[in-house]
Structure 1
């Protein structure tokens, strides 16, 4: 609700700061490995080992992508014993990933477009 009020106060246009943050988020999504990581993390917490298996990338590559996603504010983590568990930071990120993949599914499957 606050987000809608913020956009209404600017005439429905996002501020420069909002656009900058959105562009940074989309920039992180333009890599297939990062998109696959976020898809997995949108569905629950995972450690690096599980993510390596889920996305089919090497451990160093997954760790490097996770670091970038954390710096971009898209992924959060917590320590559980010796393991570090990662998750999508919030419901906005989960919704963004779901919509991107569902859009792709419609395009690939040639499902008619709808509103």
Structure 2
């Protein structure tokens, strides 16, 4: 899954597009949206409810993410469902959050054992 980066002879077009992808993700709402779409498809209204944001604003964020090919859509009846575009986008989001968790905590959340929920 990891691309061969040993040569590091990236062309200007690759670097320019990579910076644009990172710029799109460099927004807290868009990064949250990407995180919510890692493992399941969701509609704009589901995402808006989860984030307690107006659907119109969420839709605008998703449009930018779609233009950057970070998310893709599928129609189900009258709903449009969004999901992350591919495993590379998924890994980018996971690695970014994981890196930040390492910066902020001696034992980051992703290294802690999952605790069972008791009722």
Into which bin does the TM-score normalised by the smaller protein fall?
0.7 to 0.9
TM-score by length of 1: 0.84
Q: How many residues are paired up?
A: 108
| Correspondence 1:21 to 2:21 | no
Q: What's the offset of the Cα at 1:109?
A: 1.9
Matched with 1:84 is 80
Q: How does 1:31-42 map to 2 (within 5 A)?
A: 31-42=27-38
CA contact (8 A) 1:41 1:86 kept: yes
TM-score by length of 2: 0.81
Instruction: Give the unaligned 5+ runs of structure 1.
Output: none
| Correspondence 1:108 to 2:104 | yes
Q: Report the RMSD for the aligned CA atoms in angstroms.
A: 1.9
- CA deviation vs aligned residue, 1:51-81 (integer Å, no higher than 9, x gap): 1122232111100000110011111001000
Instruction: Give the unaligned 5+ runs of structure 2.
Output: 109-119
Q: Secondary structure at the match of 2:8?
A: coil
Q: Once superposed, which parts of structure 1, at least 4 consecutive aligned residues long, lie more than 3 Å away? A: none
